[in-house]
Homo-oligomer: A and B are copies of this chain.
């Protein structure tokens, strides 16, 4: 910022009131980081102002003023990202919409209208209270609606109903100029010109600030069970996945996990993983309207599993049991985090998942590094963890990462299916998409944000 912080802060105090303009570093510490492992996360800039507006009108005035002064604006959500996408890497404004957290459920249309600062937990709760269900579960429930949409979040329950993009039917957004756009609505079909809404979903805060969204909900399922299928041989587990999907059963989630990491995660939270047979396992969540429907699907899966050499399946039926399984599964990341350098989210065609794993094994042997993997097998989406060795970041980590990226792309995949480009993957985008595609993206950025004030230095390199 060329202007003095005090001068700028004064302008914003006039817009949103002095108590919502924070300039003291001590009160903004938690806004300077996300869930990216410490050693990979970019540092926050020195001169920052944290703003907490209460309305779309205030967001509009803030952006208009920032745009006129050419001050960078870093929109943040729940700061649960894994690629440093919301870190304020330049002097400027941190924009938190946490006060804008209202959710209205429209029971008749099975939709929710949620302000961007509402959390995933808020949305799950509001849907539940209205007798409805928001199926997607991209990890940390502290994630906010604005962030979930900006990053097109995925997670464990994307097999049946898709990723965040598939849920968003309407958006209210504020452009860098302060103009407010209303796109879509509680509609299933909409062909009014170009689909700006889908262009904005996944644009990581670089095109506009999302202030509100219309989100599709589903009826609560009458019955849900979680199956654990143990395998001695990983390739048998992987081969099971497309066979399940071809059977006509569409589970809510199909997760691939390995016993070593499950036991670590269980230990980390003082629990025990219930299935100790089989080093590779599939966790399958089934939901349906009735017990009959779900148990008949269980039978189909058990048959497919048996054909693919699975051990005896374990079925968790009570809510407590199912939640325990998911809790342990969700804590693999936490258990590994202290020793983690980076977590990748390569996505390949489902049928190439086994090839990707074999390739990662080779890389692991070649460089002598521990590369724990698990992931959303039903989506072809694998999380590969780059770990410290003896508490230190291995010297060859760059080569290891590059080799894994290259394998993913060689197998017809992409280097990020969930986490996005953010800050950590910036240098990679031009390796894996064509110059022409990148130049179209850059021109779109210029149209939306000609002064490059919105989350600068993310997705594209600065300048």
* Chain A residues near B (Cβ < 8 Å): 106-111, 131, 151-152, 154, 158-159, 162-163, 165-166, 175, 179, 181-183, 185-196, 198-199, 201-203, 207, 219-222, 242, 245-249, 289-290, 292-293, 296-297, 300, 347-351, 376, 378-381, 412-421, 429, 432-434, 436-438, 440-441, 443-445, 447-448, 459
Contact = CB atoms under 8 A, between A and B. Distances in A.
A433 B193 contact: yes
Contacts of A195: 152, 165, 198-199, 201-203
A345 to B, nearest CB: 8
A429 B191 contact: no
Contacts of A166: 162, 166
Number of copies: 2
B417 A189 contact: yes
A441 B296 contact: no
Nearest to A198: B198
Contacts of A300: 289
Contact of A191 (B221, B222, B351, B416): B416
A350 B293 contact: no
Contact of A108 (B297, B350, B415, B420): B350
A459 B194 CA distance: 9
Q: Give the most central of A111, A154, A246: most B CB within 10 Å.
A: A246
Contacts of A163: 188-189
A349 B186 CA distance: 5
A60 B35 CA distance: 44
A250 to B, nearest CB: 8
A211 B68 CA distance: 43
A50 to B, nearest CB: 27
B351 A106 contact: yes
A158 B158 CA distance: 19
10 contacts: A109-B350, A163-B188, A165-B198, A185-B413, A189-B376, A189-B418, A193-B429, A194-B441, A198-B198, A248-B289
A199 B191 contact: no
A191 B289 contact: no
